[in-house]
Structure 1
Amino acid sequence: MKHSSYLILACCLALATGCELQETNIDPNVPVDVPLQTLLPPAEQSVANFLSGDAAVIAGIFSQYFVGFDALVQPLDRYVVDNDFFMRPIWQDLYATSLVTLDLIVEKAETQQSPHYAGVGKTLLALCLGAASSLWGDIPYSEALQGDENLNPAYDSQEIVYQEVQRLLEEAIVDLSAEESVFSPGDDDLLLGGNLERWKKAASTLKARFYLHIVKRSPSAAEQALNALAEGIDDPAGDLRYTYNAQEFNPWFRYQQSTPNIRIDPLFRDLVDDDPREGALIKVTFGEARIGPFYASETSPLFLISYVEARFLEAEALLRTAKPGAQQALDEAVRTHIDLVTGGETPPAEIDDYLAANVQLTGSLEEDLQIVLTQKHIASFTTIEGWTDFRRTGYPILPPNADGLNPQNPNGEIPRRFPYPLSEELFNAQVPTPLPGLQDRFWWDQ
């Protein structure tokens, strides 16, 4: 099935939208009578767009994957974040497109006795909510998505949002296991082609991801993550990925072609120096280091949750619960990622040498967490998860940018959160007051 062609580039999105309404409640004119099989493809595309747009660029700069190259993006290197130009399109992608369409899919699926569609919708809804809360903390949800019925939706606490994420994923797994469904996804499912077993495993792996997000707050998070991973993705073929094609190029490819205003951070180049993956992750052209061919070619896939991440989550959770097997899980994660990004062309002996030199656990919890999270940081390149992992664990150790001290970021440290968009400040009376700053830590970061 051909993808639709309206994928919007990260930085171009902010220029393309002129809407002055409060995005949390924008009715995106999604026709309510459209069949489920017609709603699902653009919904999946919108999720990919949300996770690969400005949010990934900004998180990538904060996690030192990228540096800004021109006047538009360079302020982000100094931790100056325009809460209108940058935040508004991300918020609009989330609320005016992704969440409202997914919510409609779930509602229609339940009305039409089609739990398989409901399970897919709930999985993606949980993914978006968890990702959004990892960026902003408290967000509107329980009173959002109501259009003109509520123009001032209350903000749900991050703790409540994460509980809702787990509830949605649990319900999704039940729905996807239903023996009967009037309608079921097939070729219209651009992510997994209607494979319900793979959707269940993806949902379980997302449960593990979001459990470990709250590891500072929940003593049982690591154990819960392991329980979820027991039913999670167990093969690279089960990766939840959005695949691009000649009708719809990969957004990082398009971004670098049309708005080439980021380069690879020298710290990340140093991290992967002499790494077998270096040439796949980074491409140097005329002395400028950019995102490499694996992540930024015309048809490079976008990974929403993967087997590689599942094994990294497993390694971390095993370490935190003092259970055996962390080294095996870590080796499998790194080996699989090397094979993946290099197309299987790295000789096994070379991978063995890399593992022996860089991926050997020591028996000290903090040292071992640093090894696991540093390797996961490499494998999370171009995603928002690298920044999330740094904030929740402190690893990898990243020095703040030297010129990051400013009124918006008064201590000069790496930001802990996104600012709320100006549209929320202006149009939603329920926006948190006082507005949190970039260094105000939300619930799971305390």
Structure 2
Amino acid sequence: MVLGAGLISCESLVDNMNTDLNNPTDASASLILTGAQLGNVSVQEGHLARVAAMWSGYFTGTDRQYKDIYSYNVTGASFNDVWQFVYQGVVEQTKLVITKSQTTNNRLVQGIAKVTRAHALGTAAACWGDVPFSEAADIARFPNPAFEPQVEVYQKLQALLDEAIADLESGIGSSPGAADIFFQGDAGKWKEAAYTLKSRFYMETREYQLAYAAAGKGITGAARSLVVTHGSTLNVNENLMYAFIARNRVGDINAALSLAPKLLNPASPDYRGNARTDETARYNHHFITVNASGTQIPVSPNTNSSTTSRGLFGQSAPYPLVTFSENLLTLAEAGLRSGGAATGLEKLNAFRAYLNAGGDLDPTYKTYTYRYEPYTASDIAPGGMLNKDGIQAEQALLREILMERYLTFNGQILGFNDLRRTRKEAVAVQLSPNAGVALPERMIYSEAEVNSNTSAPRPVPGVFVKTPVNL
């Protein structure tokens, strides 16, 4: 699948499309579904992901407003567009899709739309806390939609995903085909993605036993991951990270002060490799110190886009949304927390086996060395390779799993969510503030929403105010 018109470097939803997606009452359900999916791509891969990456030790903001955002100087105006993508681009459009699909009893399309909506609203709840849910995108009835408590939103997301799964299991409805830009109407793949999303949301509310059970029904292979497949057509289907970092805003972002490249770089004193782990290939896939012209640069996200070097953020590089890697790592962490060290170790080794077979590496980076041999119980025992400081074996294993999740989610909002969720853990990934002494806890509510919605929280909580699930 290659994204067509509508997904461009400025994250517009409507360029080159023949229907106004903000007024689509005469469009088909399939066309509206495409627009909603593109809107969700902009939510997950655009500005919100860049901010999350800067606040998670993946990227460094170095110029213009990104230098200020990196130092946590950010206003609600910075999030106006992404808020609009969530509520107009996804929620409103998926409601229209469902209404139109109900008239033909097309439960397959309804299920896809519900998973898409849950994905966008789940990201909104994680990033902002209390958000509109039940009254959202119904301006005639609710001109000032209520902001519902974050915990209740997560509960409603689980119910929405249960509805989606029932729709997808029903076998009722015709496929939207290519209008579904991800799975072309494959109900089985959407069902697995729904279960992995359920496990994600249970992780974010720390319901680990439920997360483990949901992940057990989640994405079963890399080829079944929900990813945005990009292309190399300028201003049409490029990877949004590439378009921003390498072309539109060159110099605004690198990774010179970031934690992740230090952990992956075998030459760094902070390198996390060991006798069973060689991160050389992953480091080079994720980061560069020489640009495409051969010029030495500060360590930066890898935007290489040649036939012999396709970086993690290359022009046509796929961007992960809901993946097999996430599902395996959820099984590892939730399995450890709910089932003990043996379960956690088994599931972590399943993920390491995936990495050892090449994992998420682009084939052009498999020429570098990499090794992810299985760990043993003795490795996590006091005095073992992963437990030189003599802590409890379960804690040593948790530390390793959290570190693996951190590195795997490079450039994703998931990394920011994980850091906040696990910040109180003694073995959590240790991130130093970019400025001051406090780490950010949330995004700032859209200024446009606050100014237009009398139900919006007042005073507006600042960036260092914890969301309820992370208190």
TM-score, normalised by the number of residues in structure 1: 0.87
Aligned residue in 2 for 1:39: 32
Aligned residue in 1 for 2:175: 184
What 5-or-longer segments of structure 2 have no aligned partner?
267-278, 303-309
Aligned residue in 2 for 1:437: 462
3-state SS of paired residue (1:270): helix
Aligned residue in 1 for 2:131: 139
Assess if the C-alpha contact under 8 Å between 2:331 and 2:347 holds in 1.
Answer: yes
**Which among 320, 324, 327 is matched to residue 337 of structure 2?**
320
Assess if the C-alpha contact under 8 Å between 1:252 and 1:295 holds in 2.
Answer: no
Please say if 1:253 is aligned against 2:214.
no
Aligned residue in 2 for 1:20: none
Deviation at 1:277, TM superposition (A): 0.2
- CA separation in 1, counterparts of 2:379 and 2:315? 32
What 5-or-longer segments of structure 1 have no aligned partner?
17-26, 216-220, 405-411
Assess if the C-alpha contact under 8 Å between 1:202 and 1:232 holds in 2.
Answer: yes
3-state SS of paired residue (1:341): coil
Kindly report which structure 2 residues correspond to 1:62-211, keeping only aligned pairs within 5 A, or say none.
62-84=55-77, 86-181=78-173, 183-211=174-202
Deviation at 1:300, TM superposition (A): 0.9
Aligned residue in 2 for 1:423: 448
- CA separation in 1, counterparts of 2:348 and 2:368? 16
Is the helix fraction higher in 1 or 2?
A: 1
- CA separation in 1, counterparts of 2:359 and 2:379? 16
Please say if 1:374 is aligned against 2:415.
no
Letter in 2 for 1:387: F
Letter in 2 for 1:369: L
Assess if the C-alpha contact under 8 Å between 1:133 and 1:158 holds in 2.
Answer: yes
- CA separation in 1, counterparts of 2:31 and 2:71? 43
Please say if 1:61 is aligned against 2:54.
yes
Aligned residue in 1 for 2:273: none
Aligned residue in 1 for 2:213: 227
Q: Kindly provide the CA deviation profile for residues 350-408 of structure 1, in whole angstroms up to 9, marking residues without a partner as x.
A: 4146979999765533332221111111110111010100000123111112x33xxxx
**Which among 351, 360, 364 is matched to residue 333 of structure 1?**
351
Deviation at 1:122, TM superposition (A): 0.6
**Which among 296, 300, 311 is matched to residue 290 of structure 1?**
300
% same residue: 27
Q: Kindly provide the CA deviation profile for residues 312-368 of structure 1, in whole angstroms up to 9, marking residues without a partner as x.
A: 000001111133332232133244345321428648994146979999765533332
Deviation at 1:414, TM superposition (A): 0.9
Q: Kindly provide the CA deviation profile for residues 94-115 of structure 1, in whole angstroms up to 9, marking residues without a partner as x.
A: 1121221122112222232000
Please say if 1:281 is aligned against 2:255.
no
Assess if the C-alpha contact under 8 Å between 1:48 and 1:302 holds in 2.
Answer: no
- CA separation in 1, counterparts of 2:89 and 2:347? 37
- CA separation in 1, counterparts of 2:364 and 2:393? 32
Deviation at 1:437, TM superposition (A): 1.6
Q: Kindly provide the CA deviation profile for residues 13-42 of structure 1, in whole angstroms up to 9, marking residues without a partner as x.
A: 7xx9xxxxxxxxxx9533123222222222
Deviation at 1:297, TM superposition (A): 1.4
- CA separation in 2, counterparts of 1:288 and 1:343? 25
Q: Kindly provide the CA deviation profile for residues 247-267 of structure 1, in whole angstroms up to 9, marking residues without a partner as x.
A: 411111111211121101432
Assess if the C-alpha contact under 8 Å between 1:130 and 1:162 holds in 2.
Answer: yes
**Aligned pairs, how many?**
418
3-state SS of paired residue (1:89): helix
CA RMSD of aligned residues (A): 2.5
TM-score, normalised by the number of residues in structure 2: 0.83
- CA separation in 2, counterparts of 1:114 and 1:43? 17
Residues 350 and 31 of structure 1: is their aligned pair in 2 closer, same or farther, counting only changes over 3 Å? closer
Letter in 2 for 1:384: I
Letter in 2 for 1:151: P
- CA separation in 2, counterparts of 1:229 and 1:415? 28
